[in-house]
Structure formats: C-alpha cells, structure tokens
A and B are shown apart, each in its own frame.
Chain A
Amino acid sequence: KNEVEQSPQNLTAQEGEFITINCSYSVGISALHWLQQHPGGGIVSLFMLSSGKKKHGRLIATINIQEKHSSLHITASHPRDSAVYICAVLFGYNNNDMRFGAGTRLTVKP
C-alpha cells in the first residue's frame, strides 16, 4: 500500500523561528503538493512540486526524488502561520491516485 509519512505530528515554535516539516513517501510519484489547513477548516494549496525547489515569500518547499522526501520550510515564523500542513502525493505517472500525509499541526507563539 502506498504510504505518505509526515513528521513531526505536532510542532510548537516561538515567533521568528525557522520551521521544517518533512514528508516521506514509499514509491515513485508524479507530483507532491503541500497544503495548509487553517483552524476554520479551509484548505489552501501552497506548492506543487515534481522536482527541485520552490519559494513563495517565507515559504520554501524542496523535493528529493531519489530519496523520496520533501520538506516544507517556513522562515521567520509568525503566529498567523499556525495551521495544519499536509503533504499530498500523486503516485505513479499514469494515474491520479492521491494519498495524504496525516498532517503537521504547527502552533507559533508570539
């Protein structure tokens, strides 16, 4: 069974700290998404990656295809970054079977 593992499950940080959330998967993928879910429940797509690195503001996402691993970094974290971060992968290259990590609950304290 395809698996997606995220770590840590929970993360508490002080405002300004550098945050790293990790995602590992078991087999080859065609793409990986990082999603953000706020306490109100809405889900927003942060990044879609198939290789390399992407940056948007204080957020950076990287993926290493050979190691089957992706990281989401938040620089200079802020209380408004408090949310659940979820990685989602598309397994295989000819299907659209999407599997999700369990999510990382981030709390940033002022």
Chain B
Amino acid sequence: EAQVTQNPRYLITVTGKKLTVTCSQNMNHEYMSWYRQDPGLGLRQIYYSMNVEVTDKGDVPEGYKVSRKEKRNFPLILESPSPNQTSLYFCASSRLNTGELFFGEGSRLTVL
C-alpha cells in the first residue's frame, strides 16, 4: 500500500530537548516536504527536498533542520524546541514537484 508514515503521531516534550520527527514514503517519490498547521495561520511549508541530498527552505524554516540521505526518508529535526513550535506537522511526498501530493497522518507536537 502506497503510504507516507510519520512518527511519532503524538509527542509532548519540554523546551530545549532535541527531537526528530521521522517521515518515510514507499512510493519512490523524488519530492518530499514538511508543513506545519496552526489555528488561524493554516498550513505553512517548512522545508522541502527535490531529491537525495537536495533540500531547501520553505516559508517558515527557522528552528528546524532536515536531511535527505535516502530517497525514502525525510526527517524533521528540532534541535532546541520552543513552545512556539507546538503545532500539527505533516509530511508529504510526490513525484517531483508537480505530481499528486501524498500526506502523512500528521504529528501533533506539544512543547512545554
């Protein structure tokens, strides 16, 4: 089954404790991307990747890092989380940048 898998789905953490949200797709998609969704602000793109070892900043990259060492994985790293990073995070993938987007189920992160 074609899918994008995010982990963890839910996480409560404390300020400054490094965390990684993993994203994996099994469709051999070149394009992967991370978004956050906040009430009143909607969805915003954090980082995206066109292929292995190719990443670029989206609309709100501050406080986040990503890596794309393998085609299937695109982890989102919060080196020092802060409460303003409390949000619902989505990962998505597609064939290059103009194909149908496949979204993960979302990861709800709370930073205390």
Contacts and interface: CB of A to CB of B under 8 A. Distances in A.
Interface of A: 30-31, 33, 35, 41-45, 48, 50, 86, 88, 90, 95-103
Contacts of A35: 101, 103
A56 to B, nearest CB: 11
Contact of B106 (A41, A88, A97, A99): A41
Contacts of B88: 41
A30 B42 CA distance: 21
Interface of B: 31, 33, 42-45, 48, 50, 56, 58-59, 88, 90, 92, 97-103, 105-106
Nearest to A41: B106
Contacts of A90: 97-98
B42 A96 contact: no
Contact of B48 (A30, A86, A96, A100): A96
Contacts, number: 57
Contacts of A100: 42-45
Nearest to A98: B45
Given A45-B100, A86-B43, A97 B105 contact: no
B98 A97 contact: no
Contacts of B59: 97-99
Given A41-B106, A42-B103, A43-B103, A96 B97 contact: yes
A44 B4 CA distance: 12
